Structure 1
Amino acid sequence: MKLVVVSAGLSVPSSTRLLADRLTDAVHEEMADQDHKVEVDVIELRALAVPIANNLVTGFPPPQLATTIETVTSADGLIAVTPVFTASYSGLFKSFFDLIDPHALTGKPVLIAATGGTARHSLVLEHALRPLFTYLRAVVVPTAVYAASEDWGSGSDAYAEGLPARIRRAGGEMASLLAARATGPMPEDDITDKQLSDLRFD
């Protein structure tokens, strides 16, 4: 299985990339428990800011960006993580997904996540990110993960509703969808609402 991780963090180091890595590890662990191997490609949009802008202006992707878009659209699953700016996803994040063909992610499992300075921005997952990927006809996992600054210090795995628990739950849901794809392609590479509801998430 091929898992692509898109991180729109702007700083180095980036809490957005850190969250993306934690989610990737959670999916890896769950897939390993189910005897599935996962190949991971990580895409840092920060390095593609100029090619993305050029594509939006000219209508033609530079070779590096074209390769990146092909990597995303050919994946079996996607983890997409953005920082929050002005109560929504970053402009860089949105600009990149504006370049994806509206049908290219049809039926693909997508795990959405975001980072921000305060928990007040957590609704960005439901009012911005989930609608975006629903429009792209992706299958968005039920648990979306938001990490505010204070979440990184909330501590241990024993904290039932803390960030580690949310990451594990989202990773398990993503692994279930990827495992379902591994058993055989869905018709037209799509997953129906009934097939999604039949999946069991712990």
Structure 2
Amino acid sequence: MAKIIGISGSLSQPSRTKSLVEEITARASHQLHAPAEVIDIAEIAPVLGSTVSYGSFPAELTEIYKKVQEADLLVIASPVYKASYTGLLKHFFDLLDPKALVGKVAILAATGGSDQHAMVVDYQLRTLASFFNVYTTPTAIYAKDTEFSHYQLTSDAIRQRIDVAVEQAVFLLRQDVPHTLVA
């Protein structure tokens, strides 16, 4: 059975980004008949921010990184801050072994105030996933703040993109792809 982990890079609560991640993971969970869990960077910010070395993770982070490494499907999302994803989301991935996610599948998403930020998904999140040798769905999701009401997604167009991305993720998960890095 596949395992699904969503990672919300938002630093605030409530969060449109977390709501988007929950929507994507719920749809993937339904499609794959698999459990899904969301890691909220805002909730682990104090312990994450004070962790600076690979060798000495607090127990809370050790458990979270174990879940990420055991996942088959990742949903990685961030609000756009200053034309990029959040610094703590970057720090979260900086602490991961570069070989930890090889062969996993990811759906990438972001939220922001205007269409000007939409390319963050392709130019930055896709590059991050590529560094870790993660297969990403061709369809990414970018949702503007106006596509939410009370922090809940209201856009049918975004829901349709989510469905397409989930279908692509299911396809990728069913392929016989290498899960080890070839030197």
Give the superposition deviation at 1:118: 1.1
Could you say which residue in structure 2 is the equivalent of 1:50?
46
Distance 1:190 1:144 in 2: 25
| Percent of aligned pairs sharing the same letter | 34
Please, which of 113, 120, 140 is the counterpart of residue 144 of structure 1? 140
Distance 1:65 1:156, change over 3 A: closer
Aligned ranges 1:1-202 → 2 under 5 Å: 1-31=2-32, 37-56=33-52, 60-152=56-148, 157=156, 162-178=157-173, 180=174, 186-187=177-178, 189=179
Contact 2:29–2:36 under 8 Å retained in 1: no
* Deviation string, structure 1 residues 55-93 (Cα, Å, up to 9, x no partner): 216852111111111110111111111111000000011
Q: Which runs of 5+ in 1 are unaligned?
A: 32-36, 192-202
Distance 1:75 1:99 in 2: 17
Distance 1:99 1:106 in 2: 15
Q: Which amino acid aligns with 1:88?
A: S
Structure 1 length as normaliser, TM-score?
A: 0.80
Distance 1:108 1:155 in 2: 29
In terms of mean alpha carbon deviation, does 120-129 or 44-53 score higher? 44-53
Distance 2:85 2:13 in 1: 19
Q: Which amino acid aligns with 2:64?
A: T
Larger-gyration structure (1/2): 1
* Deviation string, structure 1 residues 124-177 (Cα, Å, up to 9, x no partner): 0111000011011010111110111123379563xxxx2121111111111222
Q: Which amino acid aligns with 2:95?
A: L
Q: C-alpha root-mean-square deviation of aligned residues, in Å?
A: 2.3
Distance 1:148 1:103, change over 3 A: same
Give the superposition deviation at 1:28: 2.6
Distance 1:144 1:166 in 2: 8
Q: Which runs of 5+ in 2 are unaligned?
A: none
Structure (1/2) with the larger helix percentage: 1
Distance 1:85 1:12 in 2: 15
Structure 2 length as normaliser, TM-score?
A: 0.88
Contact 2:53–2:95 under 8 Å retained in 1: no
Distance 1:156 1:41, change over 3 A: closer
In terms of mean alpha carbon deviation, does 146-155 or 83-92 score higher? 146-155
Q: Secondary structure at the match of 1:51?
A: helix
Contact 1:3–1:40 under 8 Å retained in 2: yes
Give the superposition deviation at 1:27: 1.4
Could you say which residue in structure 2 is the equivalent of 1:200?
none
Aligned length: 178
